[in-house]
Chains A and B, each alone.
Chain A
């Protein structure tokens, strides 16, 4: 559809609006149409189409790039829910390709090998909305300043270890509370310290939340993990390797979806966690050779 004097595509409202529609849900990494069907059947609100889940990218090494368009199109054809795909940090040409494919959201992701070590993509230039990772409030607001319509705390992808996701989520929410309690004089210094656009800092101080939805990613691998990050303020959950690297992906997918919806009901978390089989094996963070969360700035 093309724009007319009265019909407008790609507005901030429709871009952020799709993120609003995903709230409360689970977005699952999938590498083929079969996995995408499993995700949709389990009640996922969207899938992230990629060639290798982060755990395999971590294991295999090499340069991780945008996925093959054919694979993305096969997944688009397999499901009715939104399909997201990843572009390298700063690689606006990959993002242009993904937009041409009609993906519903682009993840400018630290899981792939960065293409630009100084600049992120100018996301305002696109009709398709972008999600970006962040480890703290300053990083989140810089991404929003560049046009991101959804922020996910980064965590440490592919580890099955929720500790970094918790660190990043707590860092973001604690700093939001600090902004709320700061007086007008202090907010200028806070914006300077955060290296964040002042208008966005003022908006956060006034509203008590990011201007866009805040989701969580990186290391979530059990229903209790999903409940934890939802209780810590994440409005929805990205699960990467945690589903399809577990012993029983179908059951794990269903269980994490239930856990995200009923995150504050421990009896539901207990029920869906019972007899679930083992979660992905995971990595202790101090043993990692590469920290993906350090990519992007």
Chain B
């Protein structure tokens, strides 16, 4: 396994680095195309998706990351990171763009504004539970063919997909990096 990077333009980069470190994985901050070249997998952190998208372009990383994704770069995106990876974004800016690397439709702030942000237990496909932290979270409203649902949240009787995977591309609508539970990062790292 090569090195893992965390996109460090904006957002909760430190928490992802700490979670990876807890798993014994040394990870590097990525803010330039040269730093992106050096990693074999990438985490797109939580943050503001519009700000990160803007900074990807101004940093010269937008196209470079697109090429790496097309070439099969393993990626884990959480919250804002999921929005950047999604094929369709609802309630976004008129000029919202993303990589379309994950065949899901997400609704920005799909659970509401900050006062509706919440914690809830999530159910993994093997039946075990992990803590979920949702902050102005996107809601995954549709999954295309080839998308595997790895965890769900019981939302008023509906099982919302909250952790999905399509080949090497992983997306979570919650923040596994904000809790001490390392399950999601471990599953991602083990897949590399």
Chain A residues packing against B (C-beta within 8 Å): 1, 3, 6-11, 13-15, 17-18, 20-25, 40-46, 80-82, 99, 102-105, 127-129, 254, 257-258, 261-262
- Would you call B176 an interface residue if the criterion is a C-beta within 8 Å of the partner chain's C-beta atoms? no
Given known A17-B135, A18-B135, A40-B50, contact A258–B58 (CB-CB < 8 A): yes
Given known A17-B135, A24-B11, contact A42–B115 (CB-CB < 8 A): no
User: What are 21 residue pairs bridging A and B, where the CB atoms are less than 8 Å apart in the complex?
Assistant: A1-B112, A6-B120, A10-B115, A13-B133, A14-B134, A17-B175, A20-B11, A20-B15, A21-B12, A24-B8, A24-B10, A41-B54, A42-B54, A43-B58, A80-B108, A81-B48, A82-B48, A128-B114, A254-B58, A258-B58, A261-B31
* Partner pick for B119 among A13, A21, A258, CB 8 A cutoff: A13
Cβ of B12: which chain A residues have Cβ within 8 Å of it?
A: 17, 20-21, 23
Cβ of A20: which chain B residues have Cβ within 8 Å of it?
A: 11-12, 15, 46, 178
What is the minimal beta-carbon distance from B132 to any residue of chain A, in angstroms? 9
* Partner pick for B50 among A8, A80, A103, A254, CB 8 A cutoff: A80
A-B CB contacts (within 8 Å), total count? 130
Cβ of B135: which chain A residues have Cβ within 8 Å of it?
A: 14, 17-18, 21
Cβ of B115: which chain A residues have Cβ within 8 Å of it?
A: 9-10, 99, 102, 104, 127-128
What is the minimal beta-carbon distance from B22 to any residue of chain A, in angstroms? 16
Q: Is the CB of B136 within 8 A of A8?
A: no
Residue of A nearest to B109 (CB): A80
What is the minimal beta-carbon distance from B148 to any residue of chain A, in angstroms? 24
Residue of B nearest to A83 (CB): B113
